[in-house]
Amino acid sequence: MEDDRGQLTEAQKKARRSRSVAIGLALAALVVLFYVLTLVKFGPAILDRPM
């Protein structure tokens, strides 16, 4: 089956890469945000747990 879309230009490749990097950074920022919010929610009690 042939690909009807053709080849991407260099500008399109650069734009796609820029979007991919931006999405990756946004995802990483959300992960860090959720981690920090979890630590803040538990506060000092997270260190006072039975082993």
Distance linking the first and last C-alpha atoms of the chain:
59
pLDDT tens digits along 1-51: 456 678 989 999 999 999 999 999 999 999 999 999 988 888 877 777 776
Answer left, alpha or beta for residue 33, where phi above 0 means left and psi between -120 and 50 means alpha: alpha
State residue 29's pLDDT score.
98
CA 34/CA 11 separation, integer angstroms: 35
State residue 13's pLDDT score.
93
State residue 35's pLDDT score.
93
State residue 2's pLDDT score.
54
Cβ atoms 10, 18 nearer than 8 A? no
Cβ atoms 6, 13 nearer than 8 A? no
State residue 4's pLDDT score.
63
- Full-model pTM: 0.68
